[in-house]
Amino acid sequence: MLRIKRSLLLFLVVTICNNVLFAQKEGTYTLESPNSEIVVDVNIGEDISWTVTNRSQKIIAPSRIAMTLENGEELGDSPEVRDSEKKEVNTTIDAINYKKDVIENYYNQLTLKFNQDYGLIFRAYNSGVAYRFTTNKNKEITIVSEEANFNFPEDHMIYIPYANDPANDVYQISFENLYQHIPLSEINKDTVAFAPVLVELPSGMKAAITEADLESYPGMFLKAGEKDFSLKGEFTGYPLEEEQGGHNGLQSFVTKRADYIAKTSGTRHFPWRVVIISNEDRELLNNDMVYILASAPRLDDTSWIEPGKVAWDWWNDWNISGVDFPAGINTETYKYYTDFAAENNIENILLDEGWAPRGEILNTIPEIDLDEIISYAEGKNVGVWLWSGYLPLAQNMDKALATYSEMGVKGLKVDFMNRDDQKMVDFYYNLSEKAAEHKLMLDFHGAYKPTGLQRTFPNVVNFEGVRGLENTKWSNTDFPLYDTQIPFIRMLAGPMDYTPGAMKNASKANFRAINSAPMSQGTRVHQLALYVLYEAPFNMLADNPTNYKKEPESTEFIASVPTTFDETIALDGKVGEYAAIARRKGDIWYVGAITNWNARDLEMDLSFLPEGEYEAVIFKDGINADREATDYKREVINVKSGDQLDVHLANGGGWAARIYPAQ
């Protein structure tokens, strides 16, 4: 009898197919998505390989799957299937602090069990496929390597972010590099890339490769495979020796790695290898596979977790003005940030780097009276978050969590991990669990891409792993291009702390990277739209309160946009060109659209609105926004379901709206 654990599921339908087989050495097992468009074939011969097709178009050509243990045992070599089982699952998941409140969880699953006490689980969704290893051994095992191959039938174009210059340690990175748009055949064979990557396929299809439910195991990098037009997984060796270093000594650099990638329990499920498949680009803007594939929540009580926005100090270099005290990292400045937050319904303030002495976490600098700041903020119903470098927190985790929780701190922004080997992945889980015990939320910076940890531990409310707005302080990166790539690629993995909100906006010709007086590339409305477009349960206002006070219309719109939603609809988009999304919270809809440096006209279809009369507060690029990027126009109009609005996006432009029932 199949036993289903009841957790957050509203209903569950499971169909078990009578597919139990006698042990056999060869055979092909076929699994279809619920809509029958995606087909997975698992071939069992001298080894194990899989292929994937979508609408009869081959996506993944035969690709070998294997895992090698320390004793030379190779899971996947001369496999013998002991039994197999198919099932259909059609249920829903109640999401926590997500882009929708209920997620459809509809898939077909194939489980293969082999004679060497291991297995493989394959799933086929209407939006992609995934597989994972399982083992059932009665002792700890050492994983020497895993073979995860993704062979493509042709020389497709790929969006791929290389990890680092191959002359450096490619495995110690911030996971913020830009995408190269190149043929598979031109992938640099001397380095690795990090997931997600996105492959362009015929007929407008796309395939993104990433992973989910990464726990007590190294993250999967990708590199050129042995065959033409292929990618293969690359996994970091376990750290044996480390030394302190990096920015202000906050990082731990691996100086010696083991010849194995993980030591782990012999009875477990391993991370999912995921291929997300779309027929149109816009489908990538609203995909749930990584969240669905993650382990279920491990917290019984999540009522204390309060995602929201935060007035942030670091990007704007504490450059407030019009006050009678010296601006900087001091108590008076953070009271000013608190007043701004309270006046504009911003839920939190953040004390970023500098509030504690360099390399410490249990003390404050003389200019900071943390008790006074927290007490003042509590009196105004504003939460206080603290920034921490990785190493000081790792060395003082228990005491730091207990101390700051008792003081009334709401959460920690943790920075400069810059690795995803097994030891670092264990740190994420250990910190997440212990922080939850102290009712502390977490925002991971210097972080690898999300793999679903935010579902397992909902107190994790955001991740960086993205080249965010902070880079405009020192880089001439083409941000409007990057901004229109990441919602189709990086955001597939989960939320991203991009930190939008610049009030100083520049055209391509006028942009300058200025560290202490930063500006954004693209228009003002481009920045406003990012609050709707990008998933970020913990979302920062990057500019300083003085600038926001000078721009009350923009500030009011930013403050009005929730950070979690009840429903998300992907409206339109094309990778690297433009994107448009609608999200609902209660009966209010929020719409955001952005473009790259090319101006364009869109038709905004409001068919997603229920029947009724609505008012829409609209922000659109001003007539001169191509020259003066701060130029915008705000208007209030009446709309209804089915209306088609003509939308013009200036170079690097945007469009944003809040739509609510008419009174």
Domain ranges within the chain, ordered by starting residue: 14-293, 468-663
Cβ contacts of residue 534 below 8 Å, gap of 6+?
A: 486, 487, 491, 495, 496, 498, 500
Cα separation, 43 vs 641, whole angstroms: 49
If phi over 0 gives left and psi between -120 and 50 gives alpha, with beta otherwise, what is residue 465? Answer: left
The reported pTM is 0.96
Identity at 125, one-letter amino acid code:
Y
* pLDDT for the residue 169: 83
Contact 39, 328 (CB under 8 A): no
439: left (phi over 0), alpha (psi -120 to 50) or beta: left
For domain 468-663, give the CATH number: 3.20.20.70
- Which tokens in the block code for residue 573? 């988009």
State how far the Cα of 162 lies from the Cα of 160, in Å rounded to an integer. 6
Segments in the chain below pLDDT 50: 1-23
Indicate the burial class of 343 (C-beta count within 10 angstroms; 0-12, 13-18, 19 or more): middle
Q: Are 163 and 195 in contact (CB under 8 A)?
A: no
SS (H, E, C) 548-580: HHCCHHHHHHHHHCCCCCCEEEEEEEECCCEEE
Residue burial 563-582, b: 16+ Cβ < 10 Å; e: rest? bbbbebbbbbbbbbbbbbbb
d(C-alpha 396, C-alpha 412), whole Å? 14
Q: Which CATH architecture has domain 14-293?
A: Distorted Sandwich (2.70)
Residue 419 contacts residue 254 (beta carbons within 8 Å): yes
Active site residue 300: no
Tell me which residue has tokens 């998941």: 93
The DSSP symbol for 448 reads P
Query: What pairs with residue 16 in β-bridges?
Result: 87
- Residue 22 has what pLDDT? 42
Marked catalytic residue, from 85, 146, 464, 470: 470
Burial class of residue 652 (count of CB atoms within 10 Å of its CB; 0-12, 13-18, 19+): buried
CB 152 within 8 A of CB 184: yes
Q: Which of the following is catalytic: 147, 415, 420, 621?
A: 415
Residue whose C-alpha is closest to residue 89's, from 112, 71, 105: 105
Q: How far is CA 254 from the centre of its chain?
A: 25
Residue-level pLDDT at 385: 99
Q: Let me know: does 178 contact 477? Beta carbons within 8 Å.
A: yes
Q: According to the model, what pLDDT value does residue 25 have?
A: 56
d(CA 73, CA 430): 30
Cα 516 off chain centre by? 28
Please give the mean pLDDT across all residues of the chain.
95
The per-residue pLDDT for range 601-634, each reduced to its tens digit, is 999 999 999 999 999 999 999 999 999 999 999 9
> ∠ CA(117), CA(118), CA(122), 5° rounding?
150
pLDDT at 165: 67
- Is residue 566 annotated as a catalytic residue, yes or no? no
Residue where the block lists tokens 């726990």: 215
